[in-house]
Amino acid sequence: MKDKLNARNLVSALLVAGLLLLPLYSQASGNVFVLTLFTRIVILALAAVSLNLIMGYGGMMSFGHAAYLGIGGYAVGILAQEGFGSGFLQFPVALAASAIYALVIGALSLRTRGVYFIMITLAFAQMAYYVASGLARYGGDDGLTVYKRSDFGGLINLSSRTQFYYLCLACLLGVVFLIWRIVNSRFGMVVQGLRSNEARMQAIGFPATRYRLVCFVISGTMCGLAGAMLANNTDFVSPAVMYWTRSGDLMVMVILGGMGVLFGPVVGAVAYLLLEELLSQVTEYWALIMGPLLLLVVLFARGGIMGLLGRLNRG
Amino acid sequence: MADPLLRVENLVRRFGGIVATDHVSLDVAQGELHAIIGPNGAGKTTLISQLTGHLTPDSGSIYLGGRDISHLAAYRRSALGLARSFQITSLLLDFTVADNVALAAQAHAGHSFSFWRNARKESGLRMAAQAALERVGLAHRAGVLVSRLSHGEQRELELAVALATKPQLLLLDEPMAGLGVTESARMVKLLQELRKEVTIVLVEHDMDAVFALADRISVLVYGRVIASDVPSAIRQNEDVKRAYLGDQQVVTAHV
């Protein structure tokens, strides 16, 4: 990302400013709902941003990214149920569990390419879904209620709406910053080179799978963080967060916002979830409007919203 | 005599019933420009792909500087100093010219598990890229997206990318493919410069270029080496003439 004043950067900056100021608006207007809604949006934006790292920059079309939401969530939920309420334990465990899952799944599925990669990541996520459904001790199909949010001592109180919102936002912006550093680093150049032309990259001496796998693990760990947040947000975790439609939602957010653009998934998540919210207030058949809308974006706005803004800038 | 830089022994590769590489043996000495010619379908690209590790041979061995590399992965061979250009241009089209070459330099500079520093601001990589681009006369196009280059420029960039890995041995798979007359002439001139620094194996259809450049020529027909000699001897070789029957004038025109 270059420090230029263009439509893309302007929209990104305005969006960040808006997200930062949102609690003030919520307080002034007494509209609590908007803060709750945007906490969820910020968390899912974090998941979408992490997916963008492998999908947009790495060219790995993972259709099982929601699995990490579940793994991060269940790590928090199960530890809470077993009496380990400290966030200093829950969050590291959530991240580590996601990383290990990503390492195993990645090592197996990165042997494949294209449609096969999509199908195998989907299959593993569905497996995780059914495993979670089978956890009778932890609610099985019905899910697991998290009676107490992660406890970070006196540092931050997750039960305070505003504090929790800012924590989520800080995580989102931190991860976006991290990804910005990564994609411009040597490692990021290799991963993007592999997306562009794998044979060429191997010919100049890069072991493709090794770099892809590390990228896959980083992305999964980031999404595990979103999962831990999500469980705290809803005070509940169930197999449904891992269902394949949730993975699809995340993909749609990335594509809608703009693949391989740093802030694309954030814009995509905000647009998608706000639209879903607004349309569902108008009609219960909101999906009937949402579907064609997404089709239009895919057909006429390749590169998503950020792609449109980029073209706007070029005139 | 010292060991040859590249030694190929009894290499065999089959595709179903077709023997694409049929007991090929070759020696390429250090500093030599060794051309491989042959009619279409003779197995030239199959041979190159086995040398680079993109295809594994069914039997036989490949030695680079005395070391058996027959079963090493492509990226390991590259690390040992083997670079290639592709017959069909194969570059990172959505990257800039400089980024393409810098990545090759980066591959040569050890592992790339560095996540924080901005790679585009690493002067070592940028300078290596710039040097390779100047070598092929593309320095003025460094900031351009590869997809915007002309075909001739892309062929030159292929060379720059190969050079940036500081190879001992350069495998060039039809570097003149699709080039116009002036572009070809430039490429021949460029190769004449490069051969002073690096050992080259050249697969090429352009006979003018081959006879102007090669120290030795191997002729491949139906996957078999039917002759391997200096250019003047190849021109006189009866087997070669017969193999090129119909195309005969291509070889003899330069006598």
Spans of all domains in chain B:
1-81+168-255, 91-166
ipTM above 0.90, yes or no: no
Q: From the list B84, B91, B112, which residue is nearest A197 (CB)?
A: B91
pLDDT of residue A3: 53
pLDDT confidence of residue B254:
47
In words, the CATH class of domain B1-81+168-255 is: alpha beta
Min Cα distance B237 → chain A (Å) is 35
The residue count of chain A comes to 315
pLDDT score for A286? 87
Least confident segment among A163-177, A217-231, A299-313 = A299-313
Q: Is the dihedral of CA B230, B235, B238, B239 positive or negative?
A: positive
CA distance A39 to A28: 17
pLDDT of residue B132: 93
DSSP string, chain A: ------HHHHHHHHHHHHHHHHHHHHHHHT-HHHHHHHHHHHHHHHHHHHHHIIIIIT----S-THHHHHHHHHHHHHHHHTT--BHHHHHHHHHHHHHHHHHHHHHHHTTS-HHHHHHHHHHHHHHHHHHHHT-GGGTGGG-EE--S--B-TTS--TTSHHHHHHHHHHHHHHHHHHHHHHHHSHHHHHHHHHHH-HHHHHHTT--HHHHHHHHHHHHHHHHHHHHHHHHHHHTEE-GGGGSHHHHHHHHHHHHHH-TT-TTHHHHHHHHHHHHHHHHHHH-TTHHHHHHHHHHHHHHH-TTHHHHHHHHHHH-
Q: What is the pLDDT of residues A105-153, one digit of tens each?
A: 999 999 998 899 999 999 999 999 999 999 999 999 999 999 999 999 8
Whether residues B108 and A186 touch (CB distance < 8 A) is answered with no
Among candidates B124, B191, B129, which has minimal Cα distance to B156? B191
pLDDT in the model for residue B242: 82
| pLDDT given for residue B248 in this prediction | 46
Mean pLDDT of A249-268: 94
Alpha-carbon torsion, ordered B123, B128, B134, B136, to 10 deg: -150
Q: Per-residue pLDDT averaged across A88-92, rounded?
A: 97
CA torsion sign for A154, A158, A164, A167 is positive
Q: What value does the mean pLDDT take over residues A206-212?
A: 94
pLDDT tens-digit map of A287-299: 898 889 888 888 8
CA distance B62 to chain A (A): 17
Interface with chain B: mutation pick from A179, A204, A214, A222, highest number of B CBs within 10 Å: A204
pLDDT of residue B245: 57
For B128, the 3-state DSSP assignment is helix
Task: Tell me how crowded residue B96 is: count the other CB atoms within 10 A of its CB.
Answer: 18
Q: Read off the pLDDT of residues B81-131 as tens digits, 9 standing for 90 and up.
A: 999 888 888 999 999 999 999 999 999 887 889 899 999 999 999 999 999
Residue A287 is predicted with a pLDDT of: 86
Residues 168-227 of A with CB under 8 A from B: 181-182, 184-190, 192-193, 196-197, 199-208, 211, 214
Identify the pLDDT of residue A189. Answer: 96
* Per-residue confidence (pLDDT) for residue A187, from 0 to 100: 97
Select the residue from A189, A201, A217 to test the B interface by mutation, using most B Cβ atoms within 10 A. Answer: A189
Please indicate whether, in this complex, the C-beta atoms of B95 and A203 are within 8 angstroms of each other. Answer: no
Residues present in chain B in total: 255
CB of A76 closer than 8 Å to CB of A143: no
Amino acid A314: pLDDT: 63
Stated pTM of the model: 0.89
Regions of chain B short of the pLDDT cut 70: 1-2, 245-255
